[in-house]
């Protein structure tokens, strides 16, 4: 069995910062046009394919989930943090939000038309990403689409002690090269269809990447 002890630190940390996180993190309407455009591309792809519901994994307070719902995507949110899920339920009572881990999704095989993992996998130790990506493939319907977006780097490993208003945190972050992420997706049995790497804006320190992938159709 893989060592999933890191999940406790992630859960506790996001429970701690939740109230400040929801105030400090941008809504999709406040994102740069390219990032917002990628979300809208994903929304159009999964809405047009109509292969099943879409899961926003690591949904946090539900801002991106609601953005997809406004674009007529049949979406629900899952997050490891109960505090985040409560904030999402309060803000968007018309949508479904539940507590769950990406390492063991409470979803049937082939049950999803799409998965959004939006800045939600960088706390996963690299050696456990195959577990997470394997769950993505298992739960996607044949032809289903994954959008994975987040921080990338050259293999950096961060151990912050404070975040979002100075609250104590104990999670860790891993910034992998885009090529490594792409290869892990392929090894999980997903077909990469697009990749976008955004250079840091002036004054920013991190690079961002978005990946679109599909679960192959059955032969």
Query: What is the 3-state secondary structure of the chain?
Result: CCCCCHHHHHHHHHHHHHHHHHHHCCCHHHCCHHHHHHHHHHHHHHHHHCCCCEEEECCCCCHHHHHHHHCCCCEEEEECCHHHHHHHHHHCCCCCEEECECCECCCCCCCEEEEEEECCCCCCCHHHHHHHHHHHHHHEEEEEEEEEEEEECCCEEECCCEECCCEECCCCEEECCHHHHHHHHHHCCCEEEEEEEECCCCCCCCEEEEEEEECCCCC
Q: Which residues contact 148 (CB under 8 A, 6 or more apart)?
A: 117, 121, 181, 185, 210, 211, 213
What tens digit of pLDDT does each residue of 94-134 get? 999 999 999 999 999 999 999 999 999 999 999 999 999 99
Is residue 146, in this structure, part of any structural domain at all?
yes
CATH number of the structural domain spanning residue 14: 3.40.50.150
Q: Quote the pLDDT of residue 2.
A: 81
Is residue 219, in this structure, part of any structural domain at all?
no
Is residue 117, in this structure, part of any structural domain at all?
yes
- Would strands 162-163 and 112-118 be described as parallel, antiparallel, or unpaired? unpaired
* Bridge partners, 147 (sequence order): 116, 212
Place of tokens 């409560």: 86
Q: Quote the pLDDT of residue 204.
A: 65
Sign of CA dihedral 136, 141, 143, 145: negative
Q: Quote the pLDDT of residue 206.
A: 80
Could you give the number of structural domains in the chain? 1
Q: Quote the pLDDT of residue 218.
A: 79
Q: Quote the pLDDT of residue 203.
A: 64
Sign of CA dihedral 21, 56, 76, 12: negative
CA distance 113 to 54: 6
Q: Which two tokens stand for residue 106?
A: 């409470």
Is residue 138, in this structure, part of any structural domain at all?
yes
Is residue 1, in this structure, part of any structural domain at all?
no
Is residue 54, in this structure, part of any structural domain at all?
yes
Q: What is the pTM of this model?
A: 0.96
* Bridge partners, 175 (sequence order): 156
Is residue 167, in this structure, part of any structural domain at all?
yes
Walk along the chain (219 residues) in steps of 10 and give the mean pLDDT of each run. 90 96 92 92 97 98 98 98 98 98 98 98 97 98 98 94 93 97 98 91 80 91
CA distance 66 to 72: 10
What tens digit of pLDDT does each residue of 138-158 get? 999 999 999 999 999 999 999
Q: Quote the pLDDT of residue 184.
A: 98
Range of the domain at 131: 6-214
Is residue 189, in this structure, part of any structural domain at all?
yes
Q: Which two tokens stand for residue 105?
A: 């999704």
């Amino acid at each position: 069995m893989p060592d999933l002890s890191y999940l406790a630190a992630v859960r506790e940390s996001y429970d701690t910062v939740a109230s400040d996180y929801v105030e400090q993190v941008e809504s999709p309407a406040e994102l740069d046009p390219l990032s917002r455009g990628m979300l809208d591309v994903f929304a159009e792809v999964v809405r047009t394919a109509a292969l099943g519901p879409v899961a926003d994994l690591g949904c946090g307070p539900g801002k991106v989930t609601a953005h997809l719902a406004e674009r007529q995507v049949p979406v629900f949110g899952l997050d490891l943090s109960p505090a985040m899920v409560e904030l999402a339920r309060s803000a968007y009572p018309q949508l479904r939000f539940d507590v769950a881990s990406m390492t063991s999704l409470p979803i049937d095989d082939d049950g999803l038309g799409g998965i959004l993992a939006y800045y939600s996998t960088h706390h996963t130790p690299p050696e456990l990403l195959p577990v997470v990506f394997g769950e993505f493939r298992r739960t996607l319907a044949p032809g289903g689409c994954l959008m994975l977006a987040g921080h990338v780097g050259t293999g950096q490993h961060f151990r912050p002690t404070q975040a979002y208003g100075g609250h104590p945190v104990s999670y860790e972050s891993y910034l992998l090269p885009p090529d490594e992420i792409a290869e892990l997706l392929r090894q999980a049995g997903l077909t990469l269809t697009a990749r976008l790497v955004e250079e840091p804006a002036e004054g920013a320190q991190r690079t961002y990447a978005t990946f679109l992938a599909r679960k192959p159709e059955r032969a």
